[in-house]
Structure 1
C-alpha cells in the first residue's frame, strides 16, 4: 500500500513542530535556570553579605551556566543567550525563524526568573533599602539588571559609555569564540558545558567590577523589565536610555557577530591551507 504524500508531509511537519517546540522550551528553561541561579547569587551577596569576594559570585554564575546547558542540551541548541543565537544564525546553524523563536524563549526565561527573584527577595530588598536610607536605588536594581559603573562594588566611581561598550563587546566575543571552538571538538562535547561555565566565571571576574558583566541580553533585559514594572520604574532604565541599549543589548550582539565572522574566516583559511598541503603532497 502506497503512503499518501499528503499524510507523509503532515507527519514531517508535525515532527518539525515538535522539535521546534522542544528547542524553544529548552531555550526558555535553560535561560531561566542560569538567570535565576546567577541573580540569586547577586541578591545573596548584596542583601545577606553571604560571600566574601566576587570570586564566589562568579563561581555560582558559572555553575548556573553549566547546569543550564546540561539540563537542556539533549533537546535544544542550548544557546541560552540571544548573542549566542545570533552568532549561530550568522553561521547558518539556525534559521532566521529559529532565531526569532530563540529571542522570545530566552527573554521569557529571563522574565520568569526575574519574577521569581522579585517574589523571593522583595521583603529583604525593602528592609535593606530602609536600613541604608535608599529608595528604588540602582544598588538594589542591580540584582535584576546591570549598570555601569557597578553600583554594588562601589570601587569605581565613573566609567565612560565607550569603555562599558568595549567590555561587553569583548566579553561576548571571547565567550562566543570559545563556544564555537568547543562545538567543533568532538572530544570535548561531553565536558564543553564546564568550559563554557568556566569562561563565564572568568569573564565575570574581569568585567563585573566595571559593568557587572552582562554578555547576555536576555539575562539583563528580562529581569530588568520585572524591576521596571514592579518597583523601580525609570530607575531600572538609567538615562540616557541609549546607554542601556548600546552596552547591554547591542554590544553583546555585535560581539557575537564579530566572533562568528572571525570563526568562519579562520575555518575557511584552515580548510584552504589543508587542501593546498594535500595538493603539494600529491604532486
Structure 2
C-alpha cells in the first residue's frame, strides 16, 4: 500500500501471508498443534480432537497474537504509514492505510455476499487442512505438512481473494482491526467500507 504497488502487490502480499502461515506451523506445530485460527480450533473441538475447555483460551491467545503482530507491523512501517497517509490514518479513500492490517471488502460486495465469501473460503481451508492431516489420505511427506498448508492458503487467497481479501481467519482479521481501532484509525475500521476510494 505505502509503495503504491511499486515494491509489491496483492500476489506478493498473498505469498508473504502464506509463507508466514508455513513458518507459524513449523514454529508452533509441535507445541500447540499450530492453532492460529479460531475456526480451526472450533472444527477440532467439533471433531472431538481438541477439548472444549481449551477453546476460549486458544481464541484469546490467537486474538492477542494477531493484535501484537499488527502492532509490530505498525512499528516497523510507522514512517511509511504516516508519510503515505499525509499525517492521517484513514480506512477508505485514496490514501487509506487500514488495509495494511485487516481486509476490507470490494465496494461491490454486499454484507450477505461478504459473509458467504468468508464461510466458503474458511470452509475450503478447513476441509483442506483436515484432508492434509487425515492419515487415511495420501500422506504428505513428513515435515512438509506446513509447506502444503501454505500452498493451500496461497491457492485460496489467489483464487478467492477478490471479494474480501481472504482473511480466512477470524483472529487474523479481528485482532489487527482492534489494533487499528486503538492506534488511531477509529471506529470506521468496524464498518462495512470499501478498500480503496
- TM-score band, normalised by shorter chain: 0.7 to 0.9
Instruction: Provide the aligned C-alpha RMSD in A.
Output: 1.8
Partner of 2:157: 204
Aligned residues of 1:58 and 1:202 also touching (Cα < 8 A) = no
Q: Give 1:128's match in structure 2, choosing from 60, 84, 102.
A: 84
Number of matched pairs: 185
Which is greater in Rg?
A: 1
Q: Give 2:180's match in structure 1, choosing from 227, 230, 236.
A: 227
Q: The residue matched to 2:32 in structure 1 has which SS?
A: coil
> What CA distance in whole angstroms lies between the structure 2 residues aligned with 1:135 and 1:216?
24
Extract unaligned runs of 5+ from structure 2: none
> What CA distance in whole angstroms lies between the structure 1 residues aligned with 2:55 and 2:160?
27
1:98–1:135 CA distance, 2 compared to 1 (3 A): closer
Matched, 1:167 2:124: no
Matched, 1:148 2:105: yes
Greater RCO structure (CA 8 Å; 6+ sep): 2
> What CA distance in whole angstroms lies between the structure 2 residues aligned with 1:125 and 1:85?
33
> What CA distance in whole angstroms lies between the structure 2 residues aligned with 1:239 and 1:190?
40
Shift of 1:239: 5.0
Extract unaligned runs of 5+ from structure 1: 1-45, 150-156, 241-283
Q: The residue matched to 2:43 in structure 1 has which SS?
A: helix
Q: Give 1:158's match in structure 2, choosing from 89, 108, 114.
A: 108
> What CA distance in whole angstroms lies between the structure 1 residues aligned with 2:116 and 2:74?
30
- Alignment TM-score, normalising by the size of structure 1: 0.62
- Alignment TM-score, normalising by the size of structure 2: 0.87
> What CA distance in whole angstroms lies between the structure 2 residues aligned with 1:239 and 1:54?
21
> What CA distance in whole angstroms lies between the structure 1 residues aligned with 2:192 and 2:108?
15
Shift of 1:56: 2.0
Shift of 1:105: 1.1
Shift of 1:90: 0.3
> What CA distance in whole angstroms lies between the structure 2 residues aligned with 1:123 and 1:225?
21
> What CA distance in whole angstroms lies between the structure 1 residues aligned with 2:150 and 2:51?
26
Q: Give 1:96's match in structure 2, choosing from 33, 40, 52.
A: 52
Structure 1 consecutive aligned stretches of length 4 or more whose deviation exceeds 6 Å: none
> What CA distance in whole angstroms lies between the structure 2 residues aligned with 1:231 and 1:121?
15
Shift of 1:135: 4.8
> What CA distance in whole angstroms lies between the structure 2 residues aligned with 1:135 and 1:178?
37
